[in-house]
Amino acid sequence: MAKFHSIAIDGPAGAGKSTIAKRLAKELNFVYVDTGAIYRTVAYFLDLLGISPKDVDGVERYIDELTIEIEYDENGTQHMIMNGMDVSGEIRTQDISQKASLVSAHAVVREMLLDMQRDVAKKHNVIMDGRDIGTVVLPKADVKIFLTADPAVRAQRRYEELIAKGQKAQLPTILKEIEQRDYQDTHRPIAPLKQAKDAVKVDTSALDIEGVVSAIKQIVAEKLGL
């Protein structure tokens, strides 16, 4: 049976996990799994039904009506398929991001998605990013990275990203949302955001993308010889 390698990248919202993981996956020829997009898809599904992410009964009642599939196009870009519909663009809003954080705290949601995430890692060399990859989803990952940055830096990056997309954004509001998201993620009772004991911490506050990618590739090379 083939042995596949797994790289777990955890960290708070806006630390650059997805950007870095995508680059690394491309350079290392690994499959990139954006777990945040999976939870965003659940949040979007519930939002369409008018179900509050805090409504435990509502979430448990309707979650069985949701089917999620992950597909990759010729460029390796991950697409989220919700009940047969590609919602990859629709899930990328700040509102859905906040709701995804709340949705991820539900045990029924995490149980539903856990096997899906682990199954991908059994079949491919993967780079998976999220908040509990190294602690819960892939506790035996070959390489674990905890990617972080100062909240003000993360807010500025998010602000510039939204402005570049032509969306309206206010920096103070984004900073407040990031701090709220940090609190939600680190204080949820189920699989809270925290650094795995064997994870290497990488602070991206003063680094550009190239610097972060280089630092992590060095860690991967030391661990896996790649």
With CA atoms as reference, report the closest residue to 212 among 166, 153, 159, 161. Answer: 153
| 88: in domain | yes
pLDDT score, position 74: 81
Q: Which residues of the chain have pLDDT under 50?
A: none
Expressed as residue numbers, the domain containing 110 is 6-221
pTM of the model: 0.83
| 177: in domain | yes
pLDDT score, position 2: 61
In angstroms, the CA 158 to CA 151 distance is: 10
Token pair for 218: 């060095």
| 20: in domain | yes
With CA atoms as reference, report the closest residue to 21 among 202, 170, 171. Answer: 202
Amino acid letter, 185: D
| 1: in domain | no
DSSP string, 144-209: EEEEE--HHHHHHHHHHHHHHTT----HHHHHHHHHHHHHHHHH-SSS-----TTPEEEE-TT--H
Our count of domains for the chain comes to 1
| 204: in domain | yes
| 127: in domain | yes
CATH number assigned to the domain comprising residue 70:
3.40.50.300
| 89: in domain | yes
Amino acid letter, 101: S
Check if the beta carbon of residue 156 is closer than 8 Å to that of residue 23.
no
Token pair for 8: 């777990």
Inter-CA distances, 189 with 36, 59, 65, 105, 149, Å = 18, 17, 25, 7, 24
